[in-house]
Structure 1
Amino acid sequence: MRALVLEDDELVGELLETVVAGIINGVHVSLARSLTEARRRVAENRYDLYLVDWGLPDGSGIELVKQIRAFDSSVPIVIVSGRSDRESVLQAAHYGISGYISKPLDIELLHRRLSELVPTNSAESQSVHDFLLESSNDVVQLPTDLDPGEILDLMERVDELSAAELAEIWRTQIGLTARILDVANSSSFRRTGQPVESLRAAIGTMGVPMALNQALALSLDVANKLSRPELKVLAKTYHDKALSVAWEAQQIAIKLKKTPGLFQSAGLLSRLGEMAVLKVLNQFDAGGGKLEASEIDQCLVRWSAEYGNRLKVHWKFPLSLRELIGAVHFLSADSPREDQIVMRAAALIADGRQEEEESKRLLRRLGLDVSQFTKEGQNDIDG
């Protein structure tokens, strides 16, 4: 593994070099003392981690971030800067950084942040299952621009959040803003014939709960952040499956006159374990590990439930949400809980299995008929 540290202060640079080397076994750290030198190194080589100072004698470290993001949207980039004001942090976030550490350095915080961003064990000397076992003991961060944990925290406050407050929180999230505007201007939400032009208006049009589910769906879409083609395809497949389950659960909830938000969320989160495993497999592959195509499905079968359960604990999912997610994959025949039946029926319908006896039986228990559901799901959560 290779890391590049851009820092003009010699002592700070050597400290950062020591910290990175202490966290990641076998890492080769290159130290650049100017923006010009760093830009030359990046043009000539590829690195697996970047630590970038903001203020440099010959320019801004943000220019290096832009250069890196032009060819790699997922590699970890951490800004290390004497600037600690909110505007600077937001400005850096706009360019897709992975973390921001203020000076003077908090070594414990830096150690923790880097441990979250990069695998601390060497992939080259391990089997993929050993790597997954060791990585399962760490907090797995999904490699997306939005943190699902933060979205879930906002969902806990859904009753007190206004469209204006949510728009302010998300004002630097360009991808999310575009998605919400697109949905708000779709035929499902268009009422006046006039386009919605601001994030605040778009959230007001669709409602805060629906906007939060849009954000959650986007935060779980990891496909564009993975480098190995087979993993990208699988990530898109699982994300589409989760969207379909969320859509069908929403439709059933509406038919039963239930508030659909929680059912949508459970559907969106139903492939959380698979997404986490694919992210770790991508780390293993990028770190020089030997990953055979035939092993990918084996790893998903073996590890998805374990990784999903760890994330549910880390994000402090309430028991009710865990049960709804679990029902997507399995439900005992005598389960009396209607909400869980909704989720299992939605999963079967999303999978095109509505004609199977289990699906018909579950729909009858809900007072519904299979003829009310089409075979085509919906790959968007648009209400």
Structure 2
Amino acid sequence: MDALIVDDDDLMADLLETVVAGLHPAITVLKASGFHEALALWEKRKPSLLIVDWNLPDGSGLELVRKVRASDKVAAIVMITGRADRESILKVAHYRINGYISKPFNVEMLHQRLVQMVGQVLPEEPAPLASLEVALSDGVKTVIQLPVKTDAATMLELIGRADELSAAQLTERWQDDASLCSRLLDVANRSSFRRTGAPVVHLRDAIASMGVPMALNQGVALALDVSAAFSSEVLIACALEHQKQAETVALEAQRVALALGKRSPQFFTAGLLSRVGELAVLKVIDQFQRQGGEVSDEQVLQALRDWAQPYGNKLKIQWFLPLELRQLIGAVHYLPRENVTQERLIMRAGALMAAKESPEAELGKILRQLGLDEWHKQFREDEQKNEDGGGDGDGNGNGNQA
């Protein structure tokens, strides 16, 4: 099922995309910023759900609704506008729309209303399931949302205290949540936020650029994703393993950076996002299972081997991550022979230190290049003392700041 969002406000369109993408695993979200672009998409794809802003830069959302209704009486249509007067509401009612939402709106309320509409327009008989391979091939072309760690109730409680919260406080809460971090970086790096010409590479800056209220709305929309929680123990176990790997890489890369006197938070962010490809593959497998598909444990492992890199590469672009941050994430998995910067060496060293079985020769070579071979020896000695009960800390600035 296709859903079309028509809004020229990038920030609002991104929020609506987050809400709609989480309504059902079978939904593909399309976006248009103007009347003519939306009309072309509708004629090509015939979406079953349309969310349309009244005022568009090259036409009227109401005229778009009129054209759609002239040939489609079934599609669910929601008009979103800043107009809340009785005359405007009566005017759009003439076109048999399914919902009228005034801005600013409550994300939870919008989610509830859209869930009901989606249930009405989804086909009663699901389309025949393709193979898992086909599902993965198709899934890499669509919007992927990863499960967030914070539940909807907690997000809603935070919204109630939005006036009391700062970007720094939200960062402290969310800095180890790959899904929230990636989505907020995505929104912050879209063209409407590039006022300074510098890319946003850290969660705190992303929240500050869009404002606490909008960041919280994005968080609520992600938390309300009805398909977010994995449905099988195998997928849950795999997801937890990859999330832990990413967090460990983030902490180790940060440790190496601090040993070099670098306090940039981008190292922690890059480590945290280093397993998004694996998590996205697991999300697609979960959607496939929810629609009746059967997947063996071996197929899960094979899918991760074959598809984690393509999904990871796609998401880094889809999420508008700056090139610098994408390169740091890539260095976690592979260090190019040319154009090797100190920052990439830091990320690769952090990844090797986090691995259960890492190539000692490669790690040693990188640490020598960074001038940290003696530091690492001392760190290992302190670590061994801690394991033997002979110490209470590593003494090397292993903090949790990001």
**Which of the residues 261, 264, 267 maps onto 1:257?**
261
State how far apart, in whole Å, the 1-side matches of 2:27 and 2:270 are: 35
* 1:260 Cα deviation from its structure 2 partner: 2.6
Match of 1:149 among 167, 173, 183: 183
Distance 1:287 1:340 in 2: 41
Q: What residue in structure 2 maps to residue 318 of structure 1?
A: 322
Task: Output the amino acid matched with 2:304.
Answer: L
The equivalent residue for 2:348 is: 344
Q: 1:350 to 1:160 in 2, by over 3 A?
A: closer
Question: Which of residues 125, 132, 135 is equivalent to 1:128?
Answer: 132
Is contact 1:136-1:307 (8 Å) kept?
A: yes
Structure 1 residue 271 displacement after superposition: 0.5
Q: Which amino acid aligns with 1:322?
A: R
**Within the alignment, does 1:92 sit opposite 2:109 as a pair?**
yes
2-structure distance, mates of 1:296, 1:274:
10
| Equivalent-residue separation in structure 2 for 1:349 and 1:238 (angstroms) | 16
Q: In the alignment, what sits opposite 2:377? A: 371
Contact 1:242 1:270 in 2 (8 A): yes
Deviations 1:224-252 (A, max 9, x none): 71111100111111011101111111111
Task: Tell me if structure 1 keeps the 8 A contact 2:227–2:287.
Answer: no
Q: Tell me, in whole angstroms, the C-alpha distance in 2 between the residues paired with 1:147 and 1:161.
A: 9
In structure 2, do the counterparts of structure 1 residues 174 and 253 end up closer, same or farther at CA, with 3 Å as the change threshold?
Answer: same
- Is 1:149–1:315's contact at 8 Å kept on the other side of the alignment? yes
Task: Supply the AA of the counterpart residue of 2:370.
Answer: L
1:89 is aligned with what amino acid?
N
1:138 positional shift? 1.8
Separation (CA, whole Å) in 2 of partners of 1:98 and 1:344: 44
Identity of paired residues, percent?
33
Q: 2:183 & 2:358 partners in 1: Cα distance? A: 33
CA contact (8 A) 1:135 1:280 kept: yes
1:98–1:317 distance in 2 versus 1, CA, 3 Å: farther
CA–CA separation in structure 2 for the residues paired with 1:164 and 1:125:
42
Q: How does 1:65-104 map to 2 (within 5 A)?
A: 81-86=99-104, 88-92=105-109, 97=111
Q: 1:303 to 1:172 in 2, by over 3 A?
A: closer
Give the alignment of 1:1-383 within 5 angstroms. 81-86=99-104, 88-92=105-109, 97=111, 122=127, 125-144=129-148, 146=180, 148-154=182-188, 156=199, 166-170=211-215, 225-332=229-336, 336-353=340-357, 356-369=360-373, 370-374=376-380, 381-382=400-401
Q: For residues 17-48 of structure 1, what are the alpha-carbon distances to aligned partners after superposition, in whole Å with 9 as ceiling and x for unaligned? A: xxx9x979xxxx9xxxxxxxxxxxxxxxxxxx
Q: 1:307-343 deviations in whole A, cap 9, x for unaligned?
A: 1111111112222212111110111466631111111
2:302 partner letter? Q
- Could you list the per-position Cα deviations for residues 340-380 of structure 1 after superposition, in whole angstroms to 9, with x for gaps in the alignment? 11111000101145681111111111111222445699999
Q: Secondary structure at the match of 2:268?
A: helix
Give me the whole-angstrom Cα distance separating, in 1, the residues matched to 2:208 and 2:138: 42
Deviations 1:80-126 (A, max 9, x none): 7423232x424537xxx48969xxx9xxxx9xxx99xx9xx94x532
Cα RMSD between the aligned structures? 4.6
Contact map agreement 1:262 1:321 (CA 8 A) in 2 = yes
Tell me whether 246-255 or 294-303 shows the greater mean CA deviation.
Answer: 246-255
Q: How many residues align?
A: 252
Query: Bigger relative contact order, structure 1 or 2, given CA contacts below 8 A and separation 6+?
Result: 2
Question: For residues 160-184 of structure 1, what are the alpha-carbon distances to aligned partners after superposition, in whole Å with 9 as ceiling and x for unaligned?
Answer: 7797985444456889xxxxxxxxx
Partner Cα separation in structure 1 for residue 322 and residue 208 of structure 2? 25
d(CA) in 2 for partners of 1:367, 1:261: 21
For residues 142 and 219 of structure 2, the distance between their equivalents in structure 1, rounded to whole angstroms, comes to 30
1:150 positional shift: 2.4
Secondary structure of the 1:312 match is: helix
Contact 2:329 2:347 in 1 (8 A): yes
Q: Tell me how far apart the structure 2 counterparts of residues 244 and 140 of structure 1 sit (CA, whole Å).
A: 24
Instruction: Describe the superposition over 1:142-198 as per-residue Cα deviations: whole angstroms up to 9, x where unpaired.
Output: 2437473224444745697797985444456889xxxxxxxxxxxxxxxxxxxxxxx
CA contact (8 A) 2:247 2:271 kept: yes
SS at match of 2:101: coil
Corresponding residue SS for 2:102: coil
Return closer, same or farther for 1:171/1:131 CA change in 2, 3 Å cut-off: closer
Unaligned runs of 5+ in 1: 2-19, 30-50, 54-79, 176-217
Which one-letter code corresponds to 2:182 in the other structure? P
TM-score scaled by length of structure 2: 0.52
> Is 1:249–1:260's contact at 8 Å kept on the other side of the alignment?
no
Give the Cα separation in 1 of the matches to 2:112 and 2:256. 38
SS in 1 for 2:325: helix
Deviates more, 1:353-362 or 1:229-238: 353-362
**Aligned residue in 1 for 2:168:** none
* Post-superposition offset of 1:266: 0.9
